[in-house]
């Protein structure tokens, strides 16, 4: 298992404290087919609407979607939007919300009108108050957050400049986290980054970085220089600059800057993408990942988020699928030790009218002959199942000195091949029982067999299937490779 996989697997054991400005995000989708006769304005024929937890609350949603427990602290109004937010938070079992009610303030609410066909935002309507919260709510936020801090593995401050993260709140949390040696990720707002002094990692976008440093911050060198200025100003360990379609830049104190390109995806909606980035960074630092690993995970998560409509979340499976190479995910997706899962796979493939092929063997030391067999077999069918002899089965067939690799290693190597769709382990000396379960339409074996020697031929042909022999690659044999290596070892 790679370091990335270990860190991702460990996320479910972590807790992140998130403090910031929650809001109610509403999306109204429809089509524009005419201009209003009352004014030169487009008329949106509404087709559907969605309501989500937004703002800093979307950081909490993304953490929960990743399987991370989140303690969320924020301020809402005593109104219908606030009640909707409270009810929405209750739907997330992994989020523990502490919502401080400010009777004199409206709950921040944003309503976006979107063209369904073009995924274009036509207009946004906001209900908000941006002044700092009153002293009573400020104190309540501090008390709730500090009470949760000992049980948190990391802290995220998600600042939308709606009044929750006052100077006093930010200072109290940063000082307490620093004393407790908890990493803090800050998603900043405004031009005064000095107020975040003591943060571990600060994540401005390019425009925010330019405004805070009064610089152009456009080229790589300019962005690095501005990030280094912020690093000194804030006293943080790292600055991560999000650059939209240009990817991200990471500047870590004492290390070379790292630039990563954005994933090539169709962008449907950028709403909340920064929340996804902050959530993943907080989760990865909670899992004690390095800054570069956290950045690469956040970059992958952002690609998933912007490919969805609305204020989107990213699941752990989606993140792993985007971040890790397909071969590293193959073992859990392609290998079956339990045949009870086989029928479901087969039913799904057959419902799509796919032609299922089958081959089998020990595949103890994979060589070019095996690769040719599997590649040609997959070229003749839509899905290729490989029956793999168990260790006990190999010993009975090949002797006590075999297999060289155990069944888990042999299965993982096969699963990493693009030509192989499923690896199924069987305990018997022949695959007849497994083949009766699979009922393949194509049975493939190497050309070193004659048709009358192929186990299962009669069974497959009686079921309307076909048997095919593939020419072998001369000079390659697992037995010969094993004997040659043993001879060399004894020389």
pLDDT averaged over every residue in the chain: 89
Instruction: List the CATH code of the domain at 3-324.
Output: 3.40.1190.20
pLDDT at 472 over 80: no
Handedness of CA 397, 401, 404, 410 (dihedral sign): positive
Mean pLDDT of 78-104: 94
Q: Which residue in 227, 175, 167 sits closest to 201, CA to CA?
A: 227
Q: Express each pLDDT in 18-29 by its tens digit.
A: 999 999 999 999
Task: Report the pLDDT value the prediction gives residue 30, as an integer from 0 to 100.
Answer: 92
> What one-character DSSP code corresponds to residue 205?
B
Q: In what order do the strands lie in the sheet with 22-35?
A: 42-55, 22-35, 109-115, 120-127
Mean pLDDT of 243-251: 93
> What one-character DSSP code corresponds to residue 107?
P
Local structure of 80: helix, strand or coil: helix
Task: Report the pLDDT value the prediction gives residue 380, as an integer from 0 to 100.
Answer: 87
Task: Report the pLDDT value the prediction gives residue 491, as an integer from 0 to 100.
Answer: 45
How many residues are there in the chain?
491
Q: Which residues contact 321 (CB under 8 A, 6 or more apart)?
A: 329
Per CATH, which fold does 329-490 belong to?
Answer: Rossmann fold (3.40.50)
Question: Within the chain, which residue ranges are assigned CATH 3.40.50.620?
Answer: 329-490
Local structure of 249: helix, strand or coil: strand
* Cα–chain center distance at 286: 16
* Cα–chain center distance at 409: 26
How does 128-139 read in b/e, with b if 16+ C-beta sit within 10 Å?
beeebbbeebbe
Rounded Cα gap, residues 263 and 23, in angstroms: 28
Mean pLDDT of 125-132: 92
- Beta strand 238-242 with 201-202 is parallel
Which residues are known catalytic residues?
A: 275
Query: For the ranges 1-10, 140-149, 216-225, 226-235, which has the lowest average pLDDT?
Result: 1-10
Please list the alpha-helical segments (H only) found in 14-118.
56-65, 80-90
Q: Give the global pTM.
A: 0.71
Rounded Cα gap, residues 143 and 318, in angstroms: 35
Q: Which residue in 417, 421, 445, 416 sits closest to 431, CA to CA?
A: 445
The model's confidence at residue 454, banded by pLDDT at 50, 70 and 90, is confident
Instruction: List beta partners, residue 361.
Output: 388
Task: Report the pLDDT value the prediction gives residue 249, as an integer from 0 to 100.
Answer: 96
Question: Within the chain, which residue ranges are assigned CATH 3.40.1190.20?
Answer: 3-324
Rounded Cα gap, residues 457 and 100, in angstroms: 71
């Amino acid at each position: 298992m790679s370091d990335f996989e270990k860190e991702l697997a460990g996320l479910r054991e972590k807790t992140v404290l998130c403090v910031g400005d929650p809001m109610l995000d509403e999306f109204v989708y429809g089509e524009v087919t005419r201009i209003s006769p009352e004014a030169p304005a487009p008329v949106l024929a509404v087709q559907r609407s969605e309501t989500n937890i937004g703002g800093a609350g979307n950081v909490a949603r993304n953490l929960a979607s990743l399987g991370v427990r989140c303690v969320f602290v924020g301020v809402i109004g005593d109104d219908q939007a606030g009640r909707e937010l409270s009810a929405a938070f209750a739907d997330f079992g992994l989020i523990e919300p502490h919502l401080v009610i400010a009777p004199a303030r409206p709950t921040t609410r944003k309503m976006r009108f979107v063209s369904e066909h073009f995924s274009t935002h036509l207009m946004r309507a906001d209900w908000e108050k941006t002044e700092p919260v009153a002293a009573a709510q400020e104190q309540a936020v501090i008390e709730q957050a500090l009470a949760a801090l000992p049980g948190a593995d990391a802290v995220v401050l998600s600042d939308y400049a709606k009044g929750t993260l006052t100077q006093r709140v930010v200072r109290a949390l940063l000082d307490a986290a620093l004393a407790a040696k908890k990493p803090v990720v800050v998603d900043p707002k405004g031009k005064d980054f000095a107020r975040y002094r003591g943060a571990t990692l600060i994540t401005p976008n390019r425009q925010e970085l330019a405004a805070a440093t009064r610089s152009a911050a456009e080229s790589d060198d300019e962005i690095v220089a501005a990030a280094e200025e912020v690093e000194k100003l804030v006293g943080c360990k790292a600055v991560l600059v999000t650059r939209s379609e240009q990817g991200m830049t990471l500047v870590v104190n004492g290390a070379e800057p790292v630039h990563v390109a954005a994933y090539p995806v169709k962008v449907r909606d950028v709403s909340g993408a920064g929340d996804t980035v902050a959530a993943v960074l907080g989760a990865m630092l909670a899992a004690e990942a390095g800054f570069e690993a956290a950045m690469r995970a956040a970059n992958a998560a952002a690609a998933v988020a912007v490919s969805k409509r609305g204020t989107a979340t990213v699941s752990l499976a989606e993140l792993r699928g985007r971040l890790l190479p397909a071969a590293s995910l193959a073992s859990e997706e392609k290998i079956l030790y339990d045949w009870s899962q086989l029928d479901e796979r087969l039913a799904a493939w057959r419902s799509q009218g796919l032609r299922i092929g089958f081959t089998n063997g020990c595949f103890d030391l994979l060589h070019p002959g095996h690769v040719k067999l599997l590649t040609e077999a997959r070229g003749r069918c839509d899905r290729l199942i490989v029956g793999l002899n168990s260790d006990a089965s190999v010993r009975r067939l090949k002797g006590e000195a075999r297999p060289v690799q155990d069944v888990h290693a042999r299965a993982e190597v096969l699963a990493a091949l693009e030509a192989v769709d499923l690896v199924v382990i069987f305990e018997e000396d022949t695959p007849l029982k497994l083949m009766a379960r699979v009922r393949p339409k194509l049975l493939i074996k190497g050309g070193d067999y004659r048709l009358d020697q192929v186990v299962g031929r009669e069974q497959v042909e009686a079921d309307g299937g076909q048997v095919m022999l593939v020419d072998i690659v001369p000079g390659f044999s697992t037995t010969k490779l094993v004997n040659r290596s043993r001879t060399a070892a004894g020389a």
